[in-house]
Amino acid sequence: MKFPGQNYTRAKDFCAGYFGNLAAAAAGMDPSSIGKAADFLAELFSSGHTLYVCGNGGSAAISNHLLCDFSKGIQTGTVLRPRVVSLSSHVELITAIGNDMDFADIFAYQLRTAARDGDALMTISSSGNSENIVRAIQWASGHNVQSIALTGFEGGRSAKLADINIHVPASNYGVVEDVHQSVMHILAQFIRMRLMDPALIADSLF
């Protein structure tokens, strides 16, 4: 269902509709996909491999936020030292690739340069159809780099190409991005919690 889909005259009504749409989108997700991603990422980090993450626009902000919460958050109170790289964080490199080559290659080019066998890619795209996201997954699939796609709307090409698809059934960019942000926090906090001494959990801030 699309939101808003009508003209709201009062902000409080729009707010109620937005939060209702947000709750419905979260409730409509397949929780098993988050479980698969959590298990995969915990094993990835335990084996010393690197997670590369990318997105455009608001999804780029989530990508950079993920770098913080995974690199620092997960290792707080645990012995795990996650290796995470946001491909959306280097404006100098992104603009050089986009200007001199092709904007559609800004993420795949970085993967070709840095990724190694056994590493992983997480993409964040509401539509799932951003060409630079699709090309990154395509490159990963041919080079022993498994992929997790966070998608919304109809899922797009990313949902079909990725090894694990975490799909948000909503057609509003803000709602999809809000749920993607929550998924990022859920993964980071759950992986951290599972590795902590149980006696520390009650007294720790998450």
Q: What does the pLDDT look like over 25-61, one tens digit per residue? A: 999 999 999 999 999 999 999 999 999 999 999 999 9
Stretch 98-111: mean pLDDT: 98
pLDDT at 199 over 90: no
Tell me the CATH architecture of domain 31-196: 3-Layer(aba) Sandwich (3.40)
- 48 compared with 199, residue with greater pLDDT: 48
Residue 190 CA neighbour count, 13 Å, CB half: 15
The closest alpha carbon to 49, from 121, 122, 118, 144, belongs to 118
65, 130 in Cβ contact below 8 A?
no
Query: Judging by beta carbons within 10 Å of its beta carbon (0-12, 13-18, 19+), is residue 1 exposed, middle or buried?
Result: exposed
- What is the distance between the alpha carbons of residues 61 and 42, in angstroms, rounded to a whole number? 23
Q: What's at 12, amino acid-wise?
A: K
48-73: b (≥16 Cβ within 10 Å) or e: ebbbbbbbbebbbbbbebbbebbbeb
If DSSP codes are grouped into helix, strand and coil, which group holds residue 120?
A: strand
Q: Are strands 50-55 and 83-86 parallel, antiparallel or unpaired?
A: parallel
Q: What pLDDT, in 10s, does the model give residues 111-124?
A: 999 999 999 999 99
Predicted TM-score of the model (pTM): 0.95
- Tell me the two tokens of residue 179: 């749920």
How many CB atoms neighbour CB 160 within 10 A? Answer: 13
188-88-164-137 Cα dihedral, nearest 10 degrees? -160
Rounded to whole angstroms, the Cα distance separating 170 from 28 reads 9
pLDDT at 168 > cutoff 80: yes
CA distance 23 to 27: 6
| Stretch 190-204: mean pLDDT | 91
Task: Over range 70-79, report the average pLDDT.
Answer: 93
Across-strand partners of 123? Answer: 54, 149
pLDDT (mean) for 92-106: 97
